[in-house]
Amino acid sequence: MKLAATGRAVRFAWIKRSGIDLRCKTRNWIGGGQYQRRNQSTNQHAPRIPALEIDGKSYTEDGWTNVSPSILSYLPRKLHLQPSHPVSITRQVIESNFPSPTYTHYNDLHPIVTVAENFDSLGFPKDHPGRSRTDTYYINRDTVLRTHTSAHEAQIFRDNKSEGYTISADVYRRDAIDRSHYPVFHQMEGARMWDRRKVPGGDVARAIWTDFERLPKHGLSIEDANPTTHPERNPLQAEHHSPGEVEAIAAHLKKSLEGVVVGLFSRAQKAAVAAGHADAAALEPLKVRWIEAYFPFTSPSWELEVLWQGDWLELLGCGVTKQDVLINAGVPDQIGWAFGVGLERVAMLLFSIPDIRLFWSKDPRFLDQFSVGENINAFVPFSKYPECYKDVSFWLRSSSSSAGGGMRSNAQDFHENDVMEIVRDVGSDLVEDVRLVDDFVHPVSRRKSLCYRINYRSLERTLRNEEVNQMHESVRKHLVERLGVELR
């Protein structure tokens, strides 16, 4: 995908979508159009720096820009705030475990953040793969669509309004296309801090254990095989925390999050039974396990998995907040924990939702199945419409080829997510999944060939042959124009 700004005058168009203004260059990305630059300026020689205007703010474009109008059109949707939407119901059920005034709930933070907020403030190494343009949507070199709710951690620690908080929000990642991945999804972040200067007698571990005792009891079956810290696999931040403090933080963290699981899955089991879905496994007592994990901004870190209908499912990530994050946020005397959970992931399990695209559906046959409040009921699929597979095969450019005028996608810099993005721009929610089905290197020319299978299927209607053919033709054309590949 070549999105580099050129510094030439460009035409701006206002795209108004439900309350948000997306002011974009008139590049016709979607629906098979041409990439266009038009000079609309009355003064043809006036230099103009290409800019994106989003929600009344202007962002300069540069060689890092890789957002398209189609991805920006999701900004106003905010499914986590839409009453009676499964993502919003899931949010509310989790939030109810974190009552105010101990916890402040932040649910309307803007999705455009700085690279410093999204990565640097959390200690992501400079070469972390999450920073690459193939994984993250860049507005420009310094600005991204947040890839996780943790992007707001440092600022909220700095604001220091309450001892704890949750943040729920839409997050954006360039990714595969299948029934459980979507470039926009929702996360909830939570954290709880204790201030060494404010606890009685300065004994922070004791204060945490006192709060631990106040957490609701549960009868969950828990596997937790590892020690709280491990020198190599899950280290104590020895400069900042005593082992006793970390034991207390870990205990409070784990019990709080086990409470979240009990709240969610006891409701889900009831719904499964009510819908007659429950097999023997669903009726078994809930089981969870803690496993060691790694995140740049916590240590020690864990993931929580839940046994759901016979499989262990990873539910959330969490850990003891890195003290450097807190020091840099100006609250060096605080210590505590944080977690992050993907809301769609949980909602798919709770509501038996088989395809992540359904969350974005405006079809009343989907939306009307859910009710306001914290009720969980199993989704009843309205129909499964026919699928239509189409393959596209192409050669990548050999790395030595200079043809293509600086186009990317020779064998070295090709990234599958660029293919996914094109398919999404063209097919939107009419594509169910995209899979690599063949991959080989020509024995003589050494050129690499790839074949992707695109499964077109609407969740709402039967697609016409002609429209599938048109979409597929458009995907083929964009692969050539934007990636410089050679179709086979």
> According to the binding rule CB under 6 A, does residue 148 interact with ligand DAH?
yes
| Longest CA span, the chain | 76
Q: How far is the CB of 361 from ligand DAH (least distance, A)?
A: 25
How far apart, in Å, are the Cα atoms of 364 and each of 179, 367, 368, 370, 460? 20, 5, 5, 10, 10
Distance CA 272, CA 275 (A): 5
> According to the binding rule CB under 6 A, does residue 339 interact with ligand DAH?
yes
Contact call for residues 431 and 419 (beta carbons, < 8 A): no
- Please identify, using beta-carbon distances, which residue of 150 and 458 lies nearer to ligand DAH: 150
- Please identify, using beta-carbon distances, which residue of 69 and 340 lies nearer to ligand DAH: 340
Angle in degrees, CA 115, 120, 124, rounded to 5:
115
Contact call for residues 69 and 44 (beta carbons, < 8 A): no
Angle between helices 204-214 and 243-274 (to 10 degrees): 20
List the one residue from 183, 259, 340, 427 that touches ligand DAH (CB under 6 A): 340
Q: How far is the CB of 425 from ligand DAH (least distance, A)?
A: 24
Q: How far is the CB of 171 from ligand DAH (least distance, A)?
A: 7
- Please identify, using beta-carbon distances, which residue of 255 and 482 lies nearer to ligand DAH: 255
> According to the binding rule CB under 6 A, does residue 318 interact with ligand DAH?
yes
Q: Cis omega before residue 285 (within 30°)?
A: no
Q: How far is the CB of 148 from ligand DAH (least distance, A)?
A: 3
Burial class (CB in 10 A: 0-12, 13-18, 19+), 219: exposed
Contact call for residues 269 and 283 (beta carbons, < 8 A): yes
> According to the binding rule CB under 6 A, does residue 189 interact with ligand DAH?
yes
Q: How far is the CB of 481 from ligand DAH (least distance, A)?
A: 33
Q: Which of residues 448-477 bind ligand DAH (CB under 6 A)?
A: none
Instruction: Give the per-residue contact string, 387-416, with ligand DAH (x = CB under 6 A; - = no).
Output: ------------------------------
Kindly indicate which of the ranges 12-20, 78-86, 92-100, 317-325 contains the residues binding ligand DAH, using the contact rule CB under 6 A.
Answer: 317-325
Strands (E), 353-430: 388-395
Instruction: Tell me, by CB under 6 A, how many residues bind ligand DAH.
Output: 11
> According to the binding rule CB under 6 A, does residue 111 interact with ligand DAH?
no
Kindly indicate which of the ranges 38-46, 49-57, 312-320, 424-432 contains the residues binding ligand DAH, using the contact rule CB under 6 A.
Answer: 312-320
Q: Determine the 3-state secondary structure of 88 from DSSP.
A: helix
Residue 199, phi then psi, degrees to nearest 5: -80, 150
List the one residue from 338, 346, 450, 468 that touches ligand DAH (CB under 6 A): 338
List the one residue from 183, 300, 319, 336 that touches ligand DAH (CB under 6 A): 319
Distance CA 370, CA 34 (A): 41
> According to the binding rule CB under 6 A, does residue 234 interact with ligand DAH?
no
Number of neighbours of residue 211 by Cβ within 10 angstroms: 18
Q: Which residues bind ligand DAH (CB under 6 A)?
A: 148, 150, 189, 295, 298, 317-319, 338-340
